[in-house]
Chain A
Amino acid sequence: MIVLSADRLSISFGAVHAVDALSLEVEEGLVFSIIGPNGAGKTTLFNLISGLYAPDQGRVLFAGEDVTGLAPEKLARRGLSRTFQNLQIFFRMTALENVMVGRHRHEATGLIADLLHLPAVTRQNRQTREAALAALERVGLAAMAERPAGGMSYGGLKRLEIARALASEPKVLLLDEPAAGCNAVETEEIKAIIRSIAGDGITVVLVEHDMRLVMNVSDRIHVVADGHTLAEGSASEVRADPAVIEAYLGTQGAREATGAGG
């Protein structure tokens, strides 16, 4: 079942066509990766899908419904969650509190109840805490729960954002360069986390530069360059596609790569 699709999405910033009539379809339960050279429009595509930008043309469909231009908070309530390339951590809250915010759409108390600290709020706080702790354990950060996020390592923060997004129990999780800036060990941890998430039936859409991670973890790969689709297929198909090789390595490099048996 197609759980997420983009239908000829386009957006321009001034004279720059960041995304140009791009279409893709993501099947439920798969790990779907979007790759491409820098400036190809991948994060812009994410921003379009997650409601941060409204497209100039085209549609976004989520679980069969047209959600084009819907605000991010409404998309979140339908089960779409995401992380950010440049980290949008709540630095003045603890790791646990960060993930607790991820539970927001499952929390049910209102302003008055919160002000008066009615028993329902105590119960809600406890439930949220427990769910948040579970998410932290999932990414191996349970020990850091009470640590202020501002004091955590970069790799830890990357995992924290994933835990926070997971806590909202999404149907589809968009990961924007989760391994960016991570060393080999941290990248392995991220890989394991992605596999575990996919194992739970959550659809993962990944934007990533680390080719080894992408090839290792993806069920399908969609290659983007200059704002439009270059190729799509399985890992081996994409790897052998001459257009892809050329986009990444240039014509000369492509000749060398294929000549050298790539």
Chain B
Amino acid sequence: MSVGAPATQSRLASLWRHPLASTAALTALVAVTPLFLTSSYHYRIAVLVLIFALACVGLNLLMGYAGQISLGHAGFMGIGAYAVAVGPTHLGLPSWLSLIAGAALSGLIAFIVGRPILRLKRHYLAVATLGFGLLIAIVLTNESEFTGGPDGMLVPRMTLFGWTARGTIVWYWVAGISFLVGARLALNLIESPTGRALRAIHDGEVAARVLGVDVARKKLAVFVVAAVYGSVAGSYFALFNGHITPDVAGFLRSIELVAMVVLGGMGSIVGSLVGAAVLVVLPQSLTFLHEYEHMVLGLIIIGIMIFLRQGIVPTLAAAIGGRRQ
């Protein structure tokens, strides 16, 4: 099943897939952007973009490379977010440990739930993941003793060796570096035996099996990886904002994540950043349309799916590469 990536790519387009080129481009972007950020508000937007981009990289591995779909990915963000809230508040754990614990928990849940869920295909898989994400949101809303219920709870700031992670500029670099590390790992994975196996699963699951690929195990592996990415992103989200509500795991969030991945380009790590940027910045710049937020979001999603489902980066790459074949 595929939504993006055109079947034929020119040489230049496939250059974008080269890990070095992508890493260089992304590092440059992250390093240079602060020159254009002139206020705390700008930095705040940038941090959010980077946090969501991190979640998107994980989701992209699952959707763009392995060809699976998850409409409940925000559930893992929710686990990570509440881990760094509940850990310090109720369990007395330091934030950094809670973050790791959240990631481990997300990975574990993904491992347990993924096994049966990933046997499903196409819209069955979509709805199963949807149901899973919603279940997490419901649990987070209902267990108010631990989670503060629908109004959420405060998230203590993260401290490491006496230094507190606070302030938009600090978080820009924390999120930026984390994103770059996450992107690099993902790029590594793609150009590796596991990555080739995942791409094979996407294009021809039966053939992959016949060549010895343990499809079930590989799908589970990428699902777990994606869950960990989501969890870390969710933890950052909570720590950065200082407050968290169950919305972080909600249906709307999951849909936004999918839209970001598709918009940026399924199968393009660079695209994850682009998609996140567009869908975080756009609503912010349209604050005068605040009342119409949902209408606009709905239209954007429809628009992306009709006109831009190849994704921005692959479309640009193909256009720049030209038709010289």
Contact = CB atoms under 8 A, between A and B. Distances in A.
Direct chain A–B contact by Cβ atoms under 8 Å: yes
Interface string B199-216: 110111011111111110
B177 interface: no
A164 B14 CA distance: 21
B193 interface: yes
A67 interface: no
A52 B206 contact: yes
Contact of A82 (B2, B195, B210): B210
A150 B199 contact: no
B142 interface: no
Contacts of A17: none
A21 interface: no
Given A89-B204, A90-B203, A73 B209 contact: yes
A71 interface: yes
A81 B7 CA distance: 26
B200 A101 contact: yes
Contact of A88 (B2, B7, B207): B207
B191 A168 contact: no
B269 to A, nearest CB: 13
Contacts of B208: 101
B256 to A, nearest CB: 26
A119 to B, nearest CB: 12
Interface stretch (A33-41, A108-116, A182-190, A254-262): A108-116
A71 B9 contact: no
Interface in A158-175: 164-165, 168
A73 B199 contact: no
Contact count band on B: 35 or more
B199 A104 contact: no
A114 B222 CA distance: 12
Contacts, number: 116
A134 interface: no
Given A82-B210, A105-B211, A121 B204 contact: no
Nearest to A52: B206
Given A88-B206, A115-B188, A148-B9, A100 B196 contact: yes
A104 B8 contact: no
B61 to A, nearest CB: 10
Contact of B193 (A73, A81, A104, A164): A104
A138 B198 CA distance: 26
B5 interface: yes
B192 A148 contact: no
Contact of B210 (A72, A114, A125, A128): A72
B199 to A, nearest CB: 6
B197 interface: yes
B29 interface: no
B199 A93 contact: yes
Interface in A128-144: 128
B199 A71 contact: no
B211 A116 contact: no
B39 interface: no
B325 interface: yes
Contacts of B189: 114-115
B120 interface: no
A151 interface: yes
B192 A73 contact: no
Contacts of B11: 146
Interface of A: 50, 52, 71-73, 76-77, 81-82, 84, 88-94, 97, 100-102, 104-105, 107, 109-111, 113-117, 121, 124-125, 128, 146, 148, 150-151, 164-165, 168
10 contacts: A71-B209, A92-B5, A94-B14, A104-B193, A104-B197, A105-B212, A115-B189, A148-B8, A148-B9, A164-B211
